[in-house]
Structure 1
């Protein structure tokens, strides 16, 4: 049976086929503008798919456009949603539907790797979630990503450029100061979260880093583990259960 997984985020659609063992194949990514999917993206898919598994945090119109495109070639479509408990993973939110499905799936993938993890997603927002080795979610944080910080500053003060500059501990020009301040704020939040995670878990907790903006943080986070397809990994875990239900 052919199966694919689809992760529709706020700026990109990522998808990948699953092999017979439920492992991810080659990941494809298509940028979008938040209003419409990239023209012709579906030509990268096979003409027929037995099952498609979808996770979306994008606007409803984009989600509907994706589902409509898949309906013409898929025999079965499953839409992932956040669950209070999934196998050993236990979500801290009293109202689990308020936790984004991308965070839920990233934690599902992290727990499947074994051990405790501080899961850091860097996209439009910077999200942090602590999952211990037993699968208990201790909760998380949400903040603007460095890119969003830059955009917000530029929106309020047009003379401040929205991109450019490089990270320096103490910058001597505005571009570098902006890059250093916004990236430094994100790094400080991760470091603070990692300190508290170590206290709660009784030892160091590695950072599992994913999202379109992860590469900017990676060089400055000791022993962080890059996982660019983490949400798709979690969706593959979710699909393995759905395929047998």
Structure 2
């Protein structure tokens, strides 16, 4: 049995995999890492992806009590080729999400969006070319920036509406429309690049569901997409 760790900026997701399948999974906030060890059985190996910094890596290893093989983005894995100009500077969660998406839907044109603290939107062709992607602030970061930098917008956001008629709802609508627009633009650009319609959009992350509701085209919600990619790297057969 292998332990997989996906350490984001807000939460640490984990999964136990064996014989090509996930047998248990969960998530804890960084401040609750001390509770993680009690949830885990002995494992043969541990693999991890972390975008939260070196201190977080050290805290996670202390919490689980085993050495973790931390992975990084690569120029290629299997039939997926990474066209990112500086692979070493790419967040590993983005790369693993692409690998997880490829494992789920081989041979399809895919847009892969991780909606959390930040929004990342990646483009993967049916031929296995990962073309790159975009990064934008997540909904909470956008709204915090507005509240912190504009004197008349220091208020709680409201809800998304077709035509907001008050400032709180205008804030919420602007944030979600901006995120949805980033996904839809990538969907359009990938279709134009390949000359093929029917680009599949995969959404993962804590804000995936509300983002899906704002899109004009269809999208699939996928839990733990980064962990699925990590499972392929760790070879959990």
Per the normalisation by structure 2, the TM-score is 0.92
1:225 alignment partner in structure 2: 220
Residues 1:98 and 2:89 aligned together? yes
Counterparts of residues 47-62 of structure 1 (less than 5 Å): 48-62=42-56
Distance (Å, rounded) in 2 between the aligned partners of 1:65 and 1:57: 13
Do the aligned residues in 1 keep the contact of 2:74 with 2:82 (CA within 8 Å)? yes
Deviation, 1:122, is 0.8
**Selected match of 1:211 from 205, 212, 215:** 205
Distance (Å, rounded) in 2 between the aligned partners of 1:237 and 1:145: 27
Deviation, 1:109, is 0.8
Distance 1:162 1:8, change over 3 A: farther
In structure 1, the gaps of 5 or more residues are none
Counterparts of residues 69-218 of structure 1 (less than 5 Å): 69-70=63-64, 72=65, 74=66, 77-113=68-104, 114=106, 115-157=108-150, 160=153, 163-201=156-194, 202-218=196-212
Q: Deviations over 1:172-193 (max 9, x none)?
A: 1111110000111111121111
Aligned residues: 233
Distance 1:119 1:162, change over 3 A: farther
CA root-mean-square deviation: 1.8
Counterparts of residues 15-30 of structure 1 (less than 5 Å): 15-20=14-19, 22-30=20-28
Give the match's secondary structure for 1:49.
coil
In structure 2, the gaps of 5 or more residues are none
Distance 1:158 1:12, change over 3 A: farther
